[in-house]
């Protein structure tokens, strides 16, 4: 199996969702492992469990520590543990936009309601007060707004006429434990899926001025409308087993330098290689999307007409 994604789980209390993730990670073929359990409360019961299970833990009481400083320490610990994802599991502190930006698209959260309904505190009380017959839970990607962000999965839970806040939350918790592990596994796996990678490339390529998608010799390609290509997506082309983005360098010298400097990342593509194009592998684990974005822009500049370039520069 490919290297597993490393997840830092942040908790503030009981940690039953953390435990669900941890035990799911111990099943064969689970695509993630728990690299760290961290808490803003040193007495959080979940910490003791994680420790007993041999998972590295970190705790720092947030009281009296300025938010920026607290988050800088947390960030450092998460990175030191080698984590590349963060899963919030009953973490009851707001994260600043700066922290969220540093982990953009890599922080997940679970919330015990069918979002977008009942964000924030006491969703079960709100469900019961509203007389809803269906409650549930949601896993989503964390953005700057509380309990908001793209939804990755939800499970509906029936509300019984006899339900109290306690019985409803206990039953919802069972659903949460199923949902979180599944959503996290799917989420970390998608980075290995060529469709998802192509979609990420597509979004960035088509954001460039006058760009359009056009398939070329069976590969998805991107070009300036009606003009020259600036990128191709290569997936196991000619059965080479490589997934890569092919972009234009300034010429074979730059191409050779890059391959020499980073032979695991860059390669000389068949056919387009002699004209100074370069392949960037996107099948080697974590992808640096900013880097990919810069390459697409640079390659676009190599082929875009002068006038368009001047316009793009003007527009920033
Ligand atoms: C869970 O129900 C989780 O969905 C909720 O806190 C509980 C933590 O339980 N999270 C939120 O309300 C986030 N807004 P746990 O510590 O046993 O996982």
Which percentage of the chain shows pLDDT scores above 90?
Answer: 84
CA 211 to chain centroid, in Å, comes to 26
**Ligand 1 atom at minimal distance to the Cα of residue 12:** 16
Separation of 80 CA from ligand 1 center, angstroms? Answer: 26
| pLDDT of 292 above 70 | yes
Q: pLDDT tens, 149-197?
A: 899 999 999 999 999 999 999 999 999 999 999 999 999 998 778 999 9
Mean pLDDT, the chain, rounded, equals 94
Separation of 32 CA from ligand 1 center, angstroms? Answer: 20
| pLDDT of 53 above 90 | yes
Write the residue with the smallest CA distance to atom 6 of ligand 1: 90
pLDDT (mean) for 7-18: 97
Nearest-angstrom CA–CA distance, 4 and 64: 36
What pLDDT was estimated at residue 287? 87
Nearest-angstrom CA–CA distance, 244 and 273: 13
How would you label 243-274 residue by residue, b for 16+ Cβ within 10 Å and e otherwise? Answer: bbbbbbbeeeeebeebbeeeeebbbbbeebbe
Q: pLDDT tens, 82-100?
A: 999 999 999 999 899 999 9
Nearest-angstrom CA–CA distance, 18 and 130: 30
Q: What structural domains and CATH numbers belong to the chain? A: 5-190 (3.40.50.170), 194-315 (3.90.1150.30)
Q: pLDDT tens, 102-119?
A: 998 899 999 999 999 999
**Helix H or strand E segment including 277:** strand 277-281
Q: What is the pTM of this model?
A: 0.79
Nearest-angstrom CA–CA distance, 285 and 28: 20
Ligand 1 neighbours, Cβ below 6 Å, are: 11, 13-17, 89-90, 110-112, 147, 173, 176
Nearest-angstrom CA–CA distance, 315 and 184: 39
Separation of 165 CA from ligand 1 center, angstroms? Answer: 14
Write the residue with the smallest CA distance to atom 16 of ligand 1: 15
**Ligand 1 atom at minimal distance to the Cα of residue 111:** 4
What pLDDT was estimated at residue 190? 86
Q: pLDDT tens, 223-263?
A: 999 999 999 999 988 788 899 999 999 999 999 999 999 99
From 111, 124, 140, 177, active-site residue = 111
**Ligand 1 atom at minimal distance to the Cα of residue 112:** 4
Band of pLDDT at residue 285, cut at 50, 70 and 90: confident
Write the residue with the smallest CA distance to atom 2 of ligand 1: 112
In contact, 222 and 230? CB cutoff 8 Å: yes
What pLDDT was estimated at residue 2? 64
Examine residue 35 and say whether the peptide bond preceding it is cis (omega within 30 degrees of 0). no
In contact, 237 and 219? CB cutoff 8 Å: yes
- Three-state secondary structure of 23-64: HHHCCCCCCEEEEEEEECCCCCHHHHHHHHCCCCEEECCCCC
Choose between 310 and 273: higher pLDDT.
273
What pLDDT was estimated at residue 148? 87
Q: Among the ranges 244-248, 271-275, 303-307, which has the highest mean pLDDT value?
A: 244-248
Question: Does the annotation mark 239 as catalytic?
Answer: no
What pLDDT was estimated at residue 255? 96
Helix%, strand%, coil% for the chain, nearest 5: 40, 25, 35
| pLDDT of 1 above 60 | no
């Amino acid at each position: 199996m490919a290297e597993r994604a490393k997840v830092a789980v942040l908790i503030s209390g009981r940690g039953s969702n953390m435990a669900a993730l941890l035990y799911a990670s111990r099943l064969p073929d689970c695509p993630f492992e728990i690299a760290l359990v961290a808490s803003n409360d040193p007495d959080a019961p979940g910490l003791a469990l994680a420790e007993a299970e041999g998972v590295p833990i970190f705790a720092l009481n947030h009281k009296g520590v300025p938010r920026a400083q607290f988050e800088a320490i947390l960030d450092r610990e998460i990175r030191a543990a080698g984590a590349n994802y963060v899963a919030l599991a009953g973490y009851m502190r707001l994260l600043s936009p700066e922290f969220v930006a540093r982990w953009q698209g890599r922080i997940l959260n679970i919330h015990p309601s069918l979002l977008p309904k009942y964000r924030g505190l006491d969703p079960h009380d709100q469900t019961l007060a509203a007389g809803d017959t269906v409650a549930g839970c949601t896993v989503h990607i964390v953005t700057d707004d509380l309990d908001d962000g793209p939804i990755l999965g939800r499970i509906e839970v029936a509300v019984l006429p006899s339900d109290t806040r306690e019985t409803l939350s206990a039953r919802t918790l069972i659903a949460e434990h199923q949902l979180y592990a599944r959503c996290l596994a799917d989420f970390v796996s998608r980075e290995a899926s060529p469709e998802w990678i192509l979609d990420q490339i597509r979004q960035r390529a088509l954001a460039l001025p006058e760009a359009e998608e056009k398939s070329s010799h069976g590969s998805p390609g991107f070009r300036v409308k009606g003009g020259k290509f600036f990128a191709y997506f290569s997936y196991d082309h000619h059965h080479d087993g490589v997934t890569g983005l092919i972009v234009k360098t300034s010429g074979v010298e730059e191409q050779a330098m890059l391959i020499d400097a980073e032979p695991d990342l860059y390669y000389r593509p068949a056919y387009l290689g002699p004209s100074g194009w370069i392949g960037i592998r996107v099948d080697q684990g974590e992808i640096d999307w900013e880097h990919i974005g810069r390459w697409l822009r640079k390659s676009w500049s190599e082929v875009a007409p002068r006038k368009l370039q001047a316009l793009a520069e003007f527009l920033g």
